[in-house]
Homo-oligomer: A and B are copies of this chain.
Amino acid sequence: MKTVTQEETSLQSEVSALATPPSGGGGAKYLQIASHIEALINTEALRIGDKLPSVRTLAEEKSISMGTAFQAYYHLEGKGLIESRPKSGYYVRFNRRRIPALPAGVPSDVQSHNVSVKDMIAEIYSDIAAPIKYNFALGVPDVSLLPAAKLNKSMVHALRNTTDHGISYENTRGNPELRKQVARLAFNWGGHVAPEDVIVTTGCLEAINTCLKAVTRPGDTVAVECPTYFGIYQAIEALGLKVVEISSCPVTGLDLDCLQTAIRNFSIRAVVCVPNFSNPLGSCMPDEQKKALVALITRHEIPLIEDDIYGELYFGKARPRTCKAFDTSGLVMHCSSLSKSLAPGYRIGWVLPGRFQAAVAQIKRMQNISCPTLPQAAVAHFLQTGRYDLHLRGLRQALHTQCLRYTQSIIEHFPAGTRISQPHGGFVLWLELDETVDVFRLRSEALKQQIAIVPGKIFSASCNFSHCMRISFGKPWNEDIDYGLKLLGNLVKKQAG
C-alpha cells in the first residue's frame, strides 16, 4: 500500500487553501484576505495562540473597509481557525499542520472472502433508529442543513401539475424531466449524458444492488476498495458473491497496483468503488488515477460500479470528476442519489448503466416496477428551478466548517496517538485508535452515555479495522457536540489504558 507522508498532505491542503477561496462568494475581497491569513496559519508564519492584527489595523494595512476586515475574521472564525477573545481581539486557534497523522490503514491480503456482515450490521442499526443525544453514527447531513420548505413548494407544484396528480405509474426508467436534470448535473463532472442514459432508482443503494445483479451471478467474485460502505458488502452478501478487498489510501483512494494483482489472480466480475469522498475514509481519487482505473477495467472488460453519492459535497473549488467521465466503452455503471445532499426521505437515486442499460431497466421493473411518481416530479421541479445548486453552495460551506470543528474537538479530547482522516468532502471522519482499543466494545460503553458511533469493523468483510471508528460530522458543531466528543474521548482513553 502506498503511504502518504504527513508533509505531502499538509502541503496539499495548503495549496488547496491558497488556491481555493471557500465557495459562496467566488472571489469576494474578504475571502481573499481570509485565504491569505489561512495560508499564513498553515505555513506556521502565524502560530496557534498568536494574536492577529485588530480589525482596524487589518483594514488600514490592506486598504479595505472595517466591514470587509471583520467579514474576513468572521469567516475564519466560522471555520474554527481563529477565535475572538472578549476585549482582547482575534487569536489563531487551529492549524491544519497540527492535525494528527492520517490513518495508516490495513494492507489488503488480496484474498477472496465470503461475506457475512449482515447480522453485525443489523445489530448496529437496530439501535441507531432510537433517538440518541450524541449521534455520531448519522449517515446524512443534519436535516437543519436541508431545504425542507423549498422542497415542499416543489411537491405542491408536482401535485398540481403532474398527469393524474401523480396517481399513475411512472415510467420504469423514471420521470422524463428528472432524467433530464440528472443529465444536466452530469455536466458538472465532465459527463456527456443524455436523459435516455438515466434510470431512476430508490436511492443509490438500489442502484448499486441492481448493477451488481446485472453483471454477476451467485458465486462470482467482485473487487471492492476497503474499507468501504457496509451497504455495498450487504448487497454483495445478499447476491451470494465473493469479494476481494483492495486496499485504499485515505487520501487518494483505491490502490491500482493492488487491484491489478487481484485481477491477475482472480476472475473479477465487477469492481465497486467510491472515488469521490469515499465512505468511511473520505479519500478522493485524483482525476488521473480515475482515468487509469477506467483504462485498467476497460483493458480487462470488467464492469466498474461507481458510487458517486458524495461527489457534490466537495470542500474545494470545483467538483471532482468521476470515472464515468473517462468511460468510452460503456463499462462504467455510475450510481448516485440525492439522499446525502437533498432529501434522504424522497429516496431519489439513479444509475447511468452504460452498456448494461437494458439489463438494469429489466431488473428495476422486475423488482418493483417503478419508483413513486410524486417524489420524482417534485425533485425534478426543484432541480429545474436551480434551487439545488444554490442549496449545495451553502451545504458545502457548512460541512467544511463542521469538518474542521469536529477535527479540532477530536484532537483536543482523544488520546495523542489517534489518527484522523482529512476528507476534502462528504461528512464523515475515520479514526484509527490505538490497536488495543476494541471499538465494538467501546460502542456499547458509549451507548450507555447516549453516544452513537459506527465501529470500523463493518466497513470490511475480513473484519479488520476493529480499532477504527467512523464519526459523522453531519450535525452542526456546537458546545454539546464538543462535550459528546469529550465523553467519547474519555472512554477511548480509559480503554487505551
Contacts and interface: CB of A to CB of B under 8 A. Distances in A.
Interface in A154-211: 155-156, 159, 164-171, 201-203, 205-206, 209
Interface stretch (A280-288, A315-323, A365-373): A365-373
Contacts of A217: 240
B238 A366 contact: yes
Given A203-B369, A371-B202, A167 B155 contact: no
A129 interface: yes
A171 B202 contact: no
A415 interface: no
A203 B151 CA distance: 24
Most B CB contacts (10 A, CB to CB) among A146, A164, A209 go to A164
Nearest to A118: B362
- The copy count of this chain in the complex is 2
A375 interface: yes
Contact of A125 (B237, B358, B365): B365
Contacts of A218: 218, 240
A167 to B, nearest CB: 5
Contacts of A203: 368-369
A238 to B, nearest CB: 5
Interface in A301-343: 339, 343
Interface stretch (A247-255, A344-352, A433-441): A344-352
Nearest to A370: B347
A416 interface: no
A347 B366 contact: no
Contacts of A390: none
A210 to B, nearest CB: 9
A374 interface: yes
A179 to B, nearest CB: 14
A-B pairs, 4 with minimum CB distance? A345-B373, A202-B368, A206-B368, A148-B165
Given A129-B171, A167-B345, 18 more contacts: A118-B366, A151-B165, A155-B159, A167-B343, A169-B339, A169-B344, A201-B368, A203-B369, A205-B366, A209-B366, A218-B218, A234-B366, A238-B366, A345-B372, A347-B368, A347-B369, A347-B373, A372-B375
